[in-house]
Amino acid sequence: MNMSKEKTIADQKREELFAQPQNGFDRISAQEEAEMTAYCEGYKAFLDQSMTERQSVETTIRLAQAKGFIPFTPGMTLAPGSKVYQSNRHKAITLAVIGTASLNEGANICAAHIDVPRIDLKPNPLYEDSELAYFKTHYYGGIRKYQWVTIPLELHGVLIRKDGSSVTVSIGRDEGEPCFFISDLLPHLAQDQSKKALAEAITGEGLNILIGSRPFSGDKGSERVKLAVMELLNQKYGIIEADFMSAELSVVPHFKATDIGLDRSMIGAYGHDDRSCSYAALDALFRLETAPYKTAVCMLADKEEIGSEGVTGMKSQAFDTFINDLCESQNASLRRCFENSFCLSSDVCVAHDPLYPEVTEKRNTSRLNYGIGICKYTGARGKSGASDASAEVVGKVRRAFEENGVIWQMTELGKVDQGGGGTVAAYMAQRNIDTLDAGVPVIAMHAPMEVVSKLDCYMTMRGVKAVYEMK
């Protein structure tokens, strides 16, 4: 007996007229899944080599040079297919593949950021208290302070000696190296702390890094543990305490990127925001086998987590200077280039977490495994501080994604009055560049370990590549 039921007219109309969200794993082929797995292995390796923005730039240059990219020099001869990059003070980087069309017709840009919430050392960090040595710190970006206590930590950065020489510091990443630690109260004595609001239980000034306890031998003077620590640093790096004043040293979690779940469908790591999108922008550029129609530009910026300020942030004129130099090589106008360009502001978005459903509006929040999340507007509450893309811009990207088999979804950053945030989109739009936010959905954003879907990471790369190839 045939139990099948013919579709009613209403069923047919639902299929034709209703949006039909579908889990990406129900849509991808076996070949795509294999490509996704390979892509994510490369992404995890990138994460493990890029704990700070400086390390991200170093890794990017190494990968780019292996793909035939060369340093850009103003005035150099460029032809369609030329591959160039320019580092901005070792903390941001812009790469380009020159297109066949004049830059007067614009460029296709993907802008992401490589800075990540972290804990920085203060200019005078080293002190001793009760025969324990500590570093004083100042946190960077929007961290939840309580998440950073009682986890293993690494130290990375650079010191500039008074003679101008540079010293690179990296402690805790490699096997066998020591790590660092921020203490917390034991529950037996934490009744007063437990009564405080979550944001107040751990203070910014309380995020002091425990770095040593062994006193300098054969000495009865003061600060013997501090002296012993300074002696170790001097032996390893040739520095003195005053060198901390001209240093950039950051403390980050001692976590390596790892598969999450019995099905290995997710990745847990520090720095998905925004290196999941930075790597997607970079890898997509590497996959351009021939010269695109429009010049493809990958911009990996610093300082997004603190408002895109400074010479290495997206507000800097450094980006304008790079594009202007490209324009001058073609006798093109920077203003014409910008007004005819498109920018995908590739930053992560919040994924719906069923453990905390009260902060998101389910119909308009991204979900893991549903692809790259398009965010028409960011900002807070009444779209304050948002770059609100036009319907035409969203339609253009939607069409590019559909034509290239990119799995995508629409999203926003939580419920209207719950909070909000921004990206580099507003600063690209200020340059008269049509801009749209899109990126990887993240669970536990800004935590020492965040979680993303492998499928969403892969589809973000596919989405960026589709944008690079737009005409």
Tens digits of residue pLDDT in 194-231: 999 999 999 999 999 999 999 999 888 899 999 999 99
pLDDT of res. 1: 43
C-alpha count within 13 angstroms, C-beta hemisphere, residue 49: 15
Per the CB < 8 A criterion, the answer to whether 386 and 422 are in contact is yes
Per the structure, the complete domain to which residue 360 belongs is given by 21-116+270-468
452 inside domain: yes
Distance CA 372, CA 250 (A): 31
Tokens of 187: 């529950």
Q: Are residues 111 and 200 in the same domain?
A: no
Beta strands in 105-145 (DSSP E): 107-113, 118-129, 132-140
CB distance 459 to 373 below 8 Å: no
CA–CA gap between residue 270 and residue 51 (Å, rounded): 8
Same domain, 157 and 48: no
Are 303 and 441 found together in one domain? yes
Give CA–CA dist 106/332, Å, rounded: 10
Work out the mean pLDDT of the chain and round it to a whole number.
95
- Is the pLDDT at 2 greater than 70, yes or no? no
- pLDDT confidence bin for 4, thresholds 50/70/90: low
pLDDT digits (tens, 9 = 90+) for 294-339: 999 999 999 999 999 999 999 999 999 999 999 999 999 999 999 9
The CATH number of whichever domain residue 103 belongs to comes to 3.40.630.10
Residue 225 CB neighbours (<10 A) = 21
Whether residues 383 and 293 fall in one domain: yes
Domain assignment of residue 7, yes or no: no
Alpha carbons 36 and 44: distance in angstroms, whole number: 12
464, pLDDT greater than 50: yes
376-399 burial, b at 16+ Cβ within 10 Å, e below that, comes to: bbbbbeeeeebbbbeeebbebbee
pLDDT of residue 7: 84
Convert the pLDDT of each residue in 349-402 to its tens digit.
Answer: 999 999 999 999 999 999 999 999 999 998 888 888 888 999 999 999 999 999
- 71: CB partners within 8 A, 6+ apart: 84, 85, 86, 87
User: Count of domains in the chain?
Assistant: 2
pLDDT tier at 34, thresholds 50, 70, 90: very high
Query: How, if at all, do strands 247-253 and 209-212 pair?
Result: unpaired
pLDDT at position 5 is: 63
Task: Say which CATH number the domain at 193 has.
Answer: 2.30.250.10
Query: Is 9 within a domain?
Result: no
- 140 and 108 in one domain? no
Residue ending a domain, choose from 189, 219, 253 = 253
